[in-house]
Amino acid sequence: MAEPRPLPVRLPAAKPSASEDFLPDSRSLPALREAAASCVGCELFRRATQVVFGEGPADARLVLVGEQPGDQEDRGGRPFVGPAGALLARTLEAVGIDRTQVYVTNAVKHFKWEPRGARRVHQKPSAAEVQACRGWLMAELDAVRPAMIVCLGATAAQAFLGRTFSVTRSRGEVYATPWARWWMATYHPSALLRMPDAASRAAATAAFEADLAVAAAALAGLRAAARRAS
């Protein structure tokens, strides 16, 4: 892969995150997952069924970061098991990424929702809630140390790069970051599912697949280099 580009925005100054108060002494993924279950770093735990922690192998080369669990994730306790997860799974398969080898997580670990009739409707987490939850995300990345991070949507991307980063402008570009040698932002699969116009939806879905294909090629390059070295 071509050299990653320098970041298009200035890195935001690191701020303390409320969830850091709940981090366990051991920073293994199982210890983090267990500790996150009693996080009260922001108000979102109150209305959610349970924490939905990231999931996947500790030696994953690729980490995917979504926004927050949805209705089905909240009930099931696992990330990306609903309709957005199904689209994500299909796309990963199409580009040849084995989902069982990927660590999948969210910027915010509790489901934020509002009642509408009998339904629980997703609400976007605030910047303060993303900041409060960021301690978990950073601890997951410290534990996994992936070669590549792909952010799904603006909430995830802005958890790293702040609010001046625009997914619309910078999607599909690979950047060098302190968190991984390759970092990219792309569409959120839920945003694709919500696009009302069929033509724009088809175009955006194709772009999403092309972005994940770039990630697939980078990871294939890594595997080939590892084989040559061994």
Query: Which residues of this chain interact with ligand URA, rule CB under 6 A?
Result: 66-70, 73, 79-80, 82, 84-85, 106, 190
Cβ closer to ligand URA: 106 or 158?
Answer: 106
- What does the alpha-carbon distance between residue 70 and residue 79 come to, in Å, rounded to a whole number? 8
Q: Which amino acid is at 136?
A: W
Among 109, 120, 171, 188, which residue interacts with ligand SF4 (rule: CB under 6 A)? 109
Cβ closer to ligand SF4: 127 or 217?
Answer: 127
Q: Which does 132 bind (CB under 5 to 8 A by kind): ligand URA, ligand SF4, none?
A: ligand SF4
Q: Which of the residues 4 through 63 are near ligand SF4 (CB under 6 A)?
A: 18-19, 36, 39-42, 44-45, 51
Q: How far is the CB of 13 from ligand URA (least distance, A)?
A: 26
Q: Which does 84 bind (CB under 5 to 8 A by kind): ligand SF4, ligand URA, none?
A: ligand URA
Q: How far is the CB of 69 from ligand URA (least distance, A)?
A: 5
Cβ closer to ligand URA: 4 or 131?
Answer: 131
Nearest position to ligand URA, beta carbon: 66
Residue 108 binds ligand SF4 (CB under 6 A)? yes
Q: Which of the residues 118 through 147 are near ligand SF4 (CB under 6 A)?
A: 132-133, 136
Q: How far is the CB of 202 from ligand URA (least distance, A)?
A: 21
Closest Cα to residue 44, out of 119, 121, 116, 125? 125
- What does the alpha-carbon distance between residue 179 and residue 177 come to, in Å, rounded to a whole number? 5
